[in-house]
Structure 1
Amino acid sequence: MADTEATPKGTVPDNANEHCPGPESEAAGKAEGCEGCPNQEICASQAAGPDPDLPLVAERLRHVRHRLLVLSGKGGVGKSTFTGQLAFALADDEETEVGVVDIDICGPSLPQIMGCTGEEMHRSSNGWSPVYVRDNLSLVSIGFMLPSDDAAVIWRGPKKNGMIKQFLKDVDWGGSADGGRMDYLLVDTPPGTSDEHLSIVQMLKGSITGAVIITTPQEVALQDVRKEIDFCRKAGVPILGLVENMSGFVCPSCHGESRIFYPTTGGAQALCDELGLLLLGSIPLDPRIGKACDFGSSFLDTCADSPAAQAYAGIISRIKKIVEQ
Structure 2
Amino acid sequence: MVNVSGLSKTFRVADKQPGLGGTLRHFLQRRHRLVTAVQDINIAIEPGEMVGFLGPNGAGKTTTLKMLTGLIHPSAGTVRVAGHEPFRRQADFLRQITLVMGQKQQLIWDLPPLDSLRVHAAVYGIGAAESKRRIAELADMLELDEELTRPVRKLSLGQRMKAELMAALLHQPAVLFLDEPTLGLDVNAQVRVRSFLADYNRRTGATVLLTSHYMGDITALCERVLLIHQGRLFYDGSLEGLTDQLAPCRQVRLELRHVLPARMFESYGTLESQNGNEVRLLIERDRLTEQVGRLLADFDVCDLEVNDPPVEEIIGQLFRQRDDR
- TM-score with structure 2 length normalisation? 0.31
- Select the structure that is richer in helix: 2
- Select the structure that is richer in strand: 2
Larger C-alpha radius of gyration, 1 or 2?
A: 2
